[in-house]
Structure formats: C-alpha cells, structure tokens
Amino acid sequence: MTKAFKYMFGIGAAIVLIGVTVYLIVTYWDKILSALTAGGRVATNILNQFSGDRIDTNDPSDYYDL
C-alpha cells in the first residue's frame, strides 16, 4: 500500500510540475524571447569584433545593447 501511495504521489508531483512549467513559459514568453534575442545581439557584436568587421563609431548597432 505504501508503494502505491509513493507511486501516485510521484505521478501527481510530475503532473503539477509540468503544469507549472507550461504556465510559467506561457506567462513569461515575451521576457524569455527578449532575453534570448538580447543575448544573440551581444554575441553577434562580440563575434563581429573578433572577425575584424569594421566598426563605425556612429552606428548604434555596434554597441552592446543589453
């Protein structure tokens, strides 16, 4: 009987965890996406500096915009 309760508790906890994860992803999708794109812009700027790309000091896209 104890084994069955542990098994049911584990399944219930997994279902709750999946539900909470889906809720948080749906709720904060805009923030997740903006963080990923900001990271991509920073990585692109760093790679452009290492690749020898010409940097125009008047071009605001050459700066790290976090």
- Name, in order, each residue with C-beta under 8 angstroms of 49's C-beta and a sequence gap of 6 or more: 55
What is the spatial distance between Cα 47 and Cα 64, in angstroms, rounded to a whole number?
A: 12
Distances (CA, A) of 40 to 21, 30, 33, 43, 44: 24, 15, 11, 5, 6
pLDDT, tens digit, 9 for 90 and up, residues 7-64 = 999 999 999 999 999 999 999 999 999 988 988 888 888 887 776 555 556 666 655 5
What is the spatial distance between Cα 2 and Cα 4, in angstroms, rounded to a whole number?
A: 5
